Chain A
Amino acid sequence: MNQSANVLYKVSQKLEQIEYDAVVVGSGVSGAIIAKELAERGFRVLILEAGTGQDLSTTGYEQYLASFYSSVDKDNNAPYPVNASAAMPRSPGIRKVQPGQPDASGYFVQNGPYALDSTYTRAVGGTTMHWQATTTRMLPEDFEMQARFGQGRDWPIRYADLAPYYNQAEREIGVSADVEDQTYLGITFDPGYVFPMRKIPLSYLDKSVARRLDGTEIELDGEAKRLIVRSVPQGRNGVPNPAYDNGKGYVPIGAVSAHQSEQGERCQGNTNCVPICPVQAKYDARKTLVKALATGRVDLLPRAVVSRVHIDPANGRVTHVEYKRYADSGCTDVETGVAKGRVFVLAANAVENPRLMLASNLPSSSGLMGRNLMDHTYLLAWGLMPEVTGTMRGTQGTSGIEELRSGVFRKRHAAFRIDIHNEGWGWATGSPYTDLLDIVDNKNKFGKALRRGLVDRISRQLLLAFMVEQLPEPGNRITVDPRYKDALGNLRPVVTYNLSEYSMAGLAYCRQLSRRIFQRIGVEDHTYYDPADYGYFTYLGQGLVFRGGNHFAGTHIMGTSRQDSVVDFRQRSWDHENLYLIGAGSMPTIGAANTTLTLAALCFLSVGHIANDLRREKSTTVITEGGPA
């Protein structure tokens, strides 16, 4: 079984003579789901992927692993090759933005006032190649932020509308979780529903925290909240639940491999899920792509960077997309091509979708293309547990605290969830590498004393990551500027990013709560926010540091009219009736839920409508044949 059979490494001269049913831009989770679902309904699909296409083989994946192991910076994109033709944002090298001086040293042009260190991956499989695979559902109240709290925007659909598609997304991603743990704050499931696999067990560290913290009451804006350490739902293989799908069960999907390598059917507890799972127990979009390619109706063209969307000015319909194809990552032998289809689906992510539209001079009649850029802002707090708690065991995140995702306080400040990190202080301090340097260089330890010193320091580390919601604000945005082009001449994304009072108040409350939690569980607080840090800001006299969450959203926002939004509830462009812009860019709010599960659910919602459009158009074509267009 050679799964890369339909990967087009050589472009046939005839490609532009083929009219596909759908042309999908991007092979990440959104593009993969759309392609697979359309192909299974009998439609022919072309996927254009900007990144290289080595990824569908074991060898290609092992090259990623080797790059990761040998990389000094273990950042989100460390495994994925530097590629001038399809550059991607990388967090090392991020620095403060000086007022009035955009920083164009990375792929993003950082226009400030804050530098955003969030990243995505331009490779086959997209950002699921480096994601942590946390698959929380949004809360019902997250869809009604304006109606309930007078903040942000309301969705044109509600939780109940999306619920059946959440089920489909949880199947496709292969989510491990227990319904009992996930039924909270209004989240409901169909009667008898179970997740495909049972929850990933809590780590020893989680249990140590839970033992001391569970049941702690806090009061916020007159509401009492009881803190509970809960298991985190996640897209990685665990123990299949025999009750899934009315007793049919679920078969975990392991590593993508042409040679039946038979690994990855179960998580082994490696702690480098981000940026790459060594055994492929973590879901990534290649697992869906393989199913799409197996239909025989999907062609995947890697190393094809879409540079322009062309429309028919008479009716606004997209006629074709233009792409630049490169021979290798050194941007040599670039050729321009054209892809034609009846429906076009932009699934390139919430930065690349609006970037491409703006570069094509298609700003949306709402003027909102690229605006309302959201991300989750993270506040980190770290300290040492009172005793050894086995830090570094388990996947990166097995539990969290969800209670502060909801409450009347959302009228005043941002909601958040808390992740308990099993891999220690890494994100905050660069541990364990920085610990090693310190013990060797400053403490002059070697041999047994060095080993002992490392164990003492690392195995007590606790890092709480507060994932704070951000509201849609038109001033936070992606734009393009002819002064900033990449190696292929494509316009680069210019990021304008600020923190609102609402966000800052939420972040500041998180710091306050972290102190209480640490006090409660006897943690020695080592949190320190460096004024020189690019994420440093002050709020009410207190200095804090935020980090980006890699959850870009909102930039082709969904709404009820062409005046107030870019796409409708189906993610179809109001301006261009055969164009869908899909992914987190469509989300009007993100609450304190990691975005991937919700955007995957939206894809399942959209694909039915795309299929309907294709069928309807087919019959229309027959009826009006020979008549006026």
Chain B
Amino acid sequence: MSFKPIKSLAELHNYLHATIQLEHATIPPYLTALYSIWPGKNSAAVHILRAVLVEEMLHLTLAANVLNAVGGTPDLTQASFVPVYPAYLPDGEKDFQVSRQRFCRQAVETFLKIERPARAPNEQSQMVRRKRSSAAILSMLPDNEKDIHYYSIGEFYQAISQGITYLEGEKSRCGETLFIGDRARQVTREYYFSGGGEVMPVVDLPSALAALRLIIEQGEGGGDGAFDYEHEISHYYRFEQLLLGRYYQTGDQPGCPSGEPILVDWDAVYPMQDNVGVADYPQGSELHTAAREFNAFYYKFLQKLTRAYSGHPELLMAAVGDMFRIKEHATALIRNPIPGQAQNAGPTFELDEYAPAVAPAEGDLV
């Protein structure tokens, strides 16, 4: 392993801000694919996308818990928090970009890359130096960190785990601790739960490492097979089932699922234009209005999450209801053609016009 180690609290905060950004960055592409499927069709794909999404939201919450535990303040409302798609992931994987696109083979192949197992093909390529492009979004890392890139999300999290362990070791030698965050800001199971792993409060080194381990395992798998130590199937293998046309069952080797067949109907999908933007909709059209309404609502949603992660975890309950609204707004776009074109509209997740230049004070948030 040859990461550039995290050596200061400021660096750790930056990395943790990036994890929040990273976990969120997968949500618009997954939501878009999910909502592009015709109602009542592709049940297996719908369940797989939905289950992965629920867990990404869990990861987002766990990342916020870790940042809160070490005295940081999550903020999902800053300009460029949501990437401009197609985008590189915030951990700097440089060999592929992520798009907002309809459910299709290419999208699932990208999802596999997002969730790919931690080990780089060879030690050399594990950490890649690459100049930050305008599309990359690791905006919160200091300049000298911006050319750090990890092969996978798993490696990125391993770097963070090592950094936390190192910094807590340093602190404890002085009789102090890294975990000085207000416990009331931790999101606990009362406010959030999902079947695949539980949200856990982060209050010390073991709970921080457990939270990070859960994120890695759910994404890529923890053991040698498709299932992790809790017998849960990881995102990578969940998605792979759609390409291989068969469910994994316990005992299967990676690449060789032996469960029930899955029938995927790639045509039972609305033909949404890839990475469609508000500018693609005629000024004054219903689509234009609907797309802007979606973005405004989504930005408010991120404001609410920010507040939930800043001492008001009870707001997550209401956020569940907001997900229904997001679905309504999104499907209203996805199910309608762009005038004069063969392709359909979609939500654009272009939020920068709503983001203030400076982060607002807590009291200003919804």
Residues of A within 8 A of B (CB): 1-2, 58-59, 62, 66, 198, 239-240, 242, 249, 251-252, 254, 257-263, 265-266, 268-269
Contact = CB atoms under 8 A, between A and B. Distances in A.
13 contacts: A1-B249, A1-B250, A239-B190, A240-B193, A251-B193, A257-B47, A259-B48, A259-B233, A260-B195, A262-B55, A263-B50, A265-B195, A266-B320
A258 B260 CA distance: 10
A242 B189 contact: yes
B189 A266 contact: no
B43 interface: yes
B205 interface: no
B232 interface: yes
Contact of A265 (B188, B193, B231, B249): B193
Nearest to B262: A259
3 A-B pairs closest in CB distance: A262-B195, A262-B51, A261-B47
B194 interface: yes
Given A58-B43, A62-B43, A268-B320, A259 B247 contact: yes
B189 A260 contact: no
B195 A2 contact: no
B40 A66 contact: yes
Interface string B309-325: 00000000100110010
B34 to A, nearest CB: 13
A262 B43 contact: no
Contacts of B233: 259-260
A251 B189 CA distance: 9
Interface of B: 40, 43-44, 47-48, 50-51, 54-55, 188-191, 193-196, 198, 231-233, 247, 249-250, 259-260, 317, 320-321, 324
A265 B190 contact: no
Contacts of B189: 240, 242, 249
Does more than half of chain A's interface fall in helix, strand or loop, or is it mixed? Answer: loop
Nearest to B44: A259
B232 A242 contact: no
Contacts of A198: 190
Nearest to B52: A262
Contact of A242 (B190, B196, B317, B320): B190
Q: Which of B40, B193, B250 has the most CB of A within 10 A?
A: B193
A2 B43 contact: no
Nearest to B238: A260
Given A239-B190, A240-B189, A260 B196 contact: yes
A94 B139 CA distance: 67
Contacts of A2: 249-250, 259
A288 to B, nearest CB: 17
B43 A59 contact: yes
Contacts of B54: 262-263
Given A260-B233, A262-B50, 16 more contacts: A1-B231, A239-B317, A240-B193, A242-B188, A242-B190, A252-B193, A254-B195, A257-B47, A259-B44, A259-B48, A260-B196, A261-B47, A261-B50, A263-B54, A265-B195, A266-B320
B250 A58 contact: no
A184 B193 CA distance: 31
Given A1-B250, A66-B40, A268-B320, A259 B47 contact: yes
B190 A58 contact: no
B56 to A, nearest CB: 12
Contacts of A261: 47, 50-51
A58 B324 CA distance: 22
A1 B196 CA distance: 14
Q: Which of A239, A254, A258, A260 has the most CB of B within 10 A?
A: A260
A262 B250 contact: no
B43 A260 contact: no
B51 A266 contact: no
B201 to A, nearest CB: 11
Contacts of B260: 258
Nearest to A59: B43
Contacts of B40: 66
Q: Which of A240, A254, A261 has the most CB of B within 10 A?
A: A261
Q: Which of B40, B55, B195, B250 has the most CB of A within 10 A?
A: B195
Nearest to A57: B260
A268 B322 CA distance: 11
Contacts of A251: 193, 198
A185 B50 CA distance: 44
B198 to A, nearest CB: 8
Nearest to B189: A240
Nearest to B188: A242
